[in-house]
Copies of this chain bind each other. A is one copy, B any other.
Amino acid sequence: MTGPLMCRVDPSKRNSGGSSDMTPRLSGFPEFEPTGRIIELSILDQARRVFELHGFASIETRAVEPLSALQAGGETAKEIYAVSRAADRDVEASIGLHFDLTVPLARYVIEHSHDLDFPFRRYQIQKVWRGERPQEGRFREFTQADIDVIGKDSLPFHHDVDLALVMLELLAQLPIPAPVLLVSNRKLAEGFYRGLGVTDVVGVLRCMDKLEKVGPDSTRNFLTDVLGLSQSQADACLALSRIETPDESFIAQVQALGVRDPMLDAGLAELAAVIQAGAGERPGSIRAALRIARGLDYYTGTVYETLLSGMPQVGSVASGGRYDELARDGRTTFPGVGISLGVTRLMSVILAGGNVQASRAVPSAVLIAVWSEGQRSQSNAIAQQLRRRGIPAEVSPSDAKIGRQIRHAERRGIPFVWFPATEDESDSIKDIRSGIQTPADAAMWEPDAQDLWPRVSSTTVTGV
Contacts A82-B89, A84-B81; A31 near B56 (Cβ below 8 A)? no
Cβ A141 vs Cβ B62 within 8 A: yes
Q: How far is the CA of A353 from the CA of B48 in the complex (A)?
A: 28
Is A464 an interface position by the 8 A CB rule?
no
Contacts A84-B82, A398-B156; A63 near B33 (Cβ below 8 A)? no
Contacts of A364 in B (CB 8 A): 55
Report the minimal beta-carbon distance from A94 to chain B, rounded to whole angstroms: 10
Is A394 an interface position by the 8 A CB rule?
yes
Is A9 an interface position by the 8 A CB rule?
yes
Interface size on A, residues (CB 8 A): 85
Q: What 0/1 pattern do residues 1 to 23 of A give for CB contact below 8 A with B? A: 00000000100001100000101
Partner of A23, one of B112, B127, B362: B112
Is A401 an interface position by the 8 A CB rule?
no
Contacts of A60 in B (CB 8 A): 31-32, 37
Contacts A33-B112, A84-B81, A86-B71; A361 near B117 (Cβ below 8 A)? yes
Q: How far is the CA of A31 from the CA of B65 in the complex (A)?
A: 13
Within 8 A of B (CB), among A66-83: 67, 71, 77-83
Within 8 A of B (CB), among A393-448: 393-395, 397-398, 408, 411-412
Is A230 an interface position by the 8 A CB rule?
no
Is A53 an interface position by the 8 A CB rule?
yes
Is A97 an interface position by the 8 A CB rule?
yes
Contacts of A463 in B (CB 8 A): none
Is A216 an interface position by the 8 A CB rule?
no
Cβ A82 vs Cβ B83 within 8 A: yes
Cβ B33 vs Cβ A115 within 8 A: yes
Is A210 an interface position by the 8 A CB rule?
no
Cβ A131 vs Cβ B54 within 8 A: no
Contacts of A77 in B (CB 8 A): 86-87
Cβ A58 vs Cβ B85 within 8 A: no
Cβ B58 vs Cβ A34 within 8 A: yes
Partner of A57, one of B85, B141, B361: B361
Within 8 A of B (CB), among A102-159: 108, 111-112, 115-117, 119, 121-122, 127, 129, 131, 141, 151, 156, 158-159
Is A376 an interface position by the 8 A CB rule?
yes
Cβ A85 vs Cβ B78 within 8 A: yes
Cβ B34 vs Cβ A393 within 8 A: no
Report the minimal beta-carbon distance from A325 to chain B, rounded to whole angstroms: 19
Cβ A29 vs Cβ B87 within 8 A: no
Q: How far is the CA of A151 from the CA of B158 in the complex (A)?
A: 55
Q: Identify the closest chain B residue to A149 (Cβ).
A: B397
Is A25 an interface position by the 8 A CB rule?
yes
Report the minimal beta-carbon distance from A283 to chain B, rounded to whole angstroms: 15
Q: How far is the CA of A85 from the CA of B130 in the complex (A)?
A: 9
Is A96 an interface position by the 8 A CB rule?
yes
Q: List 22 A-B contacts (CB under 8 A).
A: A14-B115, A15-B117, A21-B112, A29-B62, A30-B62, A33-B59, A34-B59, A34-B116, A38-B58, A52-B453, A53-B390, A56-B363, A57-B361, A57-B363, A63-B129, A77-B86, A78-B85, A80-B87, A82-B84, A83-B97, A117-B411, A117-B412
Known A-B contacts: A21-B112, A52-B453, A156-B397. Give 16 more (CB < 8 A): A23-B111, A23-B112, A26-B64, A31-B61, A55-B363, A57-B361, A62-B141, A63-B63, A63-B141, A67-B86, A77-B86, A79-B87, A80-B87, A82-B83, A121-B362, A162-B380
